[in-house]
Structure 1
Amino acid sequence: MAGENTFYEAAGDRDLRFAALVRTLAVQDPVWTLAFLGWLRGAANMRSASLAGAAEASRALLDAGLPGGRRMIDAVLQRADEPGELLAYWTSRYGRAVPKPVKRGIADAAERLYTEFSLLKYDTASKGFRFADVIDLAHPSASSPAQGELYRHALDRRHDRPFAPAASLEMIVRNAALRARAAADPSVLLDTAALRDAGMTWEDALSLAGSRVSKAELWTALIPTMGYMALLRNLRNFDDAGVDDEVAARVAARLADQGQVARSRQFPFRFLAAYRAAPSLRWGHALDRALTASLANVPALPGRTLVLVDRSGSMFHGTSKRTRLTHADAAAVFGTAVAMRNPGRVDLVEFGSDSKPVTVRKGESLLRVVDRFGNLGGTNTLQAVRRWYSGHDRVLIVTDEQAHPYQTNPGSAVPHDVPLYTWNLVGYRAGHGRSGPNRHVFGGLTDAAFRMVPLVEAGVRGAWPWNY
């Protein structure tokens, strides 16, 4: 996660390591780097890291006199606030002189992404670079006369010029009219169709209504207009407002729908965060089903597997400043998912200074199993492998690899012909063992990580999970 402090390393140090690595790769293999960054923003759903990576890759290509920066930039910008975010990153690193390939990549993205709804949702005073700033700096072309009017509207309101939105901007006109009506009569915000037609976000509707209407009624009107992630984030608010059970049941049905889970591209761990944040039990089953659906990549593994989940102190550092979830949570979800996908063939163990098995009962909720993991102090990885390895066909370790100095190379406790897979969740430079024959180390952890074991064991030259 770009910009995030960790237990052992500051965010700035980590980000500089990442930037240096991307710059090197961009010059050595720009085609691979372009495909990787597009995959990182898309399938892997990593926003900040992919934007920073594209900026650094473009800088390196420019310095080396190579083309490709425009495509790097355009490939990662997939949401309408991201052209501004990339400009903010660039100017903070390299100043306000933005090279032409970078401008053109940002302009390409703005032309794709700037719509009436995206302006209403993302063009807010809290943004360092607003739509008008991007338009002024990058000069995107308008794909249609209506988009040209949208650009003019964005510029007028940014520069405090008197304006009335053009009639062709129907959603913006309706939004302004609904806001004016709501100032006198907030009950107009209880009309779901009016909210949707005006592109009114749930944040804006709550702000406009204040305490003048029932929160339960307002949420009831807003819920049909809300996206999947917005629903997931607001379960506590629905409970606090007293949204009735019939409305809650409709929300739960959307949360549990496998198709919506897949399209939402939420990290599996977000469902655990929602489960812990929601005070009511009425969301639990839906969140458990959603979490299970989000783990569709968990493979069926032949033979017996030992899964070791690190629950040492450093693992309880947050994965992001925007969530209370920890690396220990992520590791527990991963290990439990593998155990539940392979009943009777996986020995699941949590370890720290000591280690102990975690039982997974048939038909049990994954969320309930995760709640049984504990905090086990230090990190004695080698001891855990020695204690629990017993002729298994493979060993999986989910950890931050920060073990005691004398506890290096846990692979020494496993026969050389038995594969050992380590997932370093945090991405520290120092690890507890090297990659090599039957010893595989992966950085980071998303649901895509589950695919790695069968790919490696297939014994063929595997392709990258992106095309290039």
Structure 2
Amino acid sequence: MARFNTRSARPQPVSRVTSTGRILRTFEGGRGRERDTRSELFLLAVSHFVSQQTFYESGADRDDRFTRLVRELAVTDPAWTAGLLGWLRGEGNLRTASIVGAAEYVKARLDASATDGPSNRQVVDSVLRRPDEPGELLAYWTSRYGRAVPKPVKRGIADAVRRLYDGRALLKYDTASKGYRFGDILNLVHAAPDPGKPWQGELFRYALDRRHHPDTAVPPATVPVLTAHRELMALPAGERRAVVTSPGGAERLAAAGMTWEALAGWLQGPMDKAAWEAVIPSMGTMALVRNLRNFDEAGVSDEVAEQVAARIADPVEVARSRQFPFRYLAAYQHAPSLRWSYALERALGHSLANVPALPGRTLVLVDRSGSMFCSRLSDRSQLNRADAAAIFGTALALRAADADLVEFGTRSNRVRFQRGESVLKILGRFGDLGGTNTTEAVRKHYRRHHRVLIVTDEQYTHHRLGDPTEQVPADVPVYTWNLAGHRAGHGPSGTGNRHTFGGLSDAAFRMVPLLEAARDADWPWTA
């Protein structure tokens, strides 16, 4: 007689963020769970803006914890750590954490004389995706470990330089505000030109001349954008605005690689309607989103605004820009005009492309406690983790077949919405709810749902009934989406229908359908 292999028997799916079984305390005194080293680093890395303070941890403490974990795993598990760092800069879209991580990876392996796994050179190259990042890595290394730069770091940077340096990169990023100019980097790493780019040798020589002999440096004719830029810069100040506003002005600015940041200084005057309308066609999508307020204040025409809105809402442009969803919320909050609202709503939707349409009944709980409000996402953003949690929770609820959306803190409330409503409109219904009584929120609102998703920093208050996940039957999946990366989790993770994800993009949502199909959810760079 069959005892185990019955019709109801199913394999238990496994997720990679795993608890060790050791009990810790959350910062609010709740009964927390320790995660293994890889899981702790992953959750910290995907939510870590370097030197950024959270409600519970100082920026220095988070940086130290990040560095310690990277250095430990660089030696004990180099292949996994190298995969994390490359993915973090690529799909994860976190520049600074990946650059710091790569430097610490190399330092730890050199100190340990480790030779197994991916090479130090490969790891350095893998995290450098933008032309200013070789200088960022060098600045970090020399500020922390001195001016002696080891060969693997130099060679990895040289590989990146060959990929990244061209005329437009030189104009945009090789500025006097940088401690390491392109010429300094070329001097240090001795990068040979790419044989497939016959113009690159002359570009490198010009970068060196531009750094050391700026008054006599002449841009090479083989890089037309540099000569076009030189011609514009040579124009008398009194003639420049006429060039911008004349027919073909926009095309001339684009051909010369003139960025919007440089244009104001070159004009030696205000960025008025004509100036913005001339430079808008050559601006990237991210720059457009960040300047909507400036466009309105300058009085940019409705015709040009329609073109901007079309680009912002274009799914291809959204995918290419790789902006986090909360960037569109920030733009919506700061732009004075309503003419951008629909475009930002569509762009936000495109940026949440990975959010699945979950079947059955789903309970979505969004953490709106004080610690979520007091932790800004970065020094350059006024948005906080509470905003990010509301975006992701709302998107989940809107796409699910049947969802209850709940905000919680000291108390908890249903957030009412209708299918097809604007995400941005629903966000206005969320409040600030004080403490973090996650356990009571789950207990109060769970009503035989098929799954529970909690978007939170996991730092719940001690509760006599136990942790939040214990309020749900063992055969019902509970997914925790951690937006802060603190050490202690509010429940177990890894097996038994209890799973934790993390990060500030929607990529983690891909794991939910996998787990519910009884398939293991691997690390995102190996999935």
Contact 1:181 1:188 in 2 (8 A): no
Summarize the alignment of residues 447-466 of structure 1 with structure 2, pairs less than 5 Å apart: 447-466=506-525
Query: Residue 296 of structure 2: which of 218, 227, 239 is its match?
Result: 239
Query: Residue 206 of structure 2: which of 153, 170, 173 is its match?
Result: 153
Q: Give the counterpart letter for 1:425 in structure 2.
A: L
| Aligned-partner Cα distance in 2 for 1:402–1:467 | 29
- Confirm whether residue 183 of structure 1 aligns to residue 208 of structure 2: no
- Confirm whether residue 15 of structure 1 aligns to residue 63 of structure 2: yes
Summarize the alignment of residues 133-282 of structure 1 with structure 2, pairs less than 5 Å apart: 133-143=184-194, 144-161=197-214, 162-181=216-235, 183-186=237-240, 187-190=242-245, 191-211=249-269, 215-282=272-339
Identical-residue share of aligned pairs (%): 60
| Aligned-partner Cα distance in 2 for 1:237–1:182 | 26
Deviates more, 1:329-338 or 1:25-34: 25-34
Summarize the alignment of residues 89-100 of structure 1 with structure 2, pairs less than 5 Å apart: 89-100=140-151
| Aligned-partner Cα distance in 2 for 1:273–1:460 | 36
Q: 1:429 aligns to what SS in structure 2?
A: coil
| Aligned-partner Cα distance in 1 for 2:420–2:482 | 29
Q: 1:271 aligns to what SS in structure 2?
A: helix
Residues 357-404 of structure 1 deviation map (CA, whole Å, 9 limit, x = unaligned)? 001113211100011101011111111011001111111111111222
| Aligned-partner Cα distance in 2 for 1:382–1:152 | 63
| Aligned-partner Cα distance in 2 for 1:132–1:7 | 41
Give me the TM-score of the superposition, normalised by structure 2.
0.86
Contact 1:232 1:255 in 2 (8 A): yes
| Aligned-partner Cα distance in 2 for 1:184–1:177 | 15
| Aligned-partner Cα distance in 2 for 1:455–1:61 | 35
Contact 2:85 2:101 in 1 (8 A): yes
Q: 2:235 aligns to what SS in structure 1?
A: helix
Q: Give the counterpart letter for 1:259 in structure 2.
A: V
Structure 1 residue 110: Cα displacement: 0.6
1:321 is matched with which residue? 379
Summarize the alignment of residues 389-428 of structure 1 with structure 2, pairs less than 5 Å apart: 389-406=446-463, 409-428=467-486
1:114 is matched with which residue? 165
Structure 1 residue 136: Cα displacement: 1.5
Equivalent residue pairs, number: 466
Q: Give the counterpart letter for 1:134 in structure 2.
A: I
Runs of 4+ in 1 over 3 A off after TM superposition: 405-408
2:502 is matched with which residue? 443
Contact 1:59 1:69 in 2 (8 A): no
Unaligned runs of 5+ in 2: 1-48
Q: Give the counterpart letter for 1:20 in structure 2.
A: R
Q: Judging changes above 3 Å, is the alpha-carbon distance between structure 1 residues 160 and 5 closer, same or farther for their aligned structure 2 residues? A: farther
Query: Residue 364 of structure 1: which of 401, 404, 421 is its match?
Result: 421
Structure 1 residue 184: Cα displacement: 3.2
Q: Give the counterpart letter for 1:395 in structure 2.
A: V
Structure 1 residue 456: Cα displacement: 1.8
| Aligned-partner Cα distance in 1 for 2:100–2:496 | 33
Query: Which structure carries more helix by proportion?
Result: 1
Query: Residue 299 of structure 1: which of 347, 351, 356 is its match?
Result: 356
Query: Residue 39 of structure 1: which of 83, 87, 91 is its match?
Result: 87
Residues 230-255 of structure 1 deviation map (CA, whole Å, 9 limit, x = unaligned)? 11110000000000111101111111
| Aligned-partner Cα distance in 2 for 1:362–1:465 | 30
Structure 1 residue 467: Cα displacement: 4.0
Contact 1:298 1:337 in 2 (8 A): yes
Structure 1 residue 182: Cα displacement: 5.3
Structure 1 residue 284: Cα displacement: 0.2
Structure 1 residue 28: Cα displacement: 2.2
Q: Judging changes above 3 Å, is the alpha-carbon distance between structure 1 residues 392 and 135 closer, same or farther for their aligned structure 2 residues? A: same
Deviates more, 1:160-169 or 1:124-133: 160-169
Q: Give the counterpart letter for 1:380 in structure 2.
A: N
Structure 1 residue 167: Cα displacement: 2.5
Contact 1:352 1:377 in 2 (8 A): yes
1:381 is matched with which residue? 438
Q: 1:87 aligns to what SS in structure 2?
A: helix
1:334 is matched with which residue? 392
Residues 66-110 of structure 1 deviation map (CA, whole Å, 9 limit, x = unaligned)? 341000000110100000001111112211111101110001101
Structure 1 residue 24: Cα displacement: 1.9
Q: Give the counterpart letter for 1:93 in structure 2.
A: R
| Aligned-partner Cα distance in 1 for 2:471–2:295 | 51
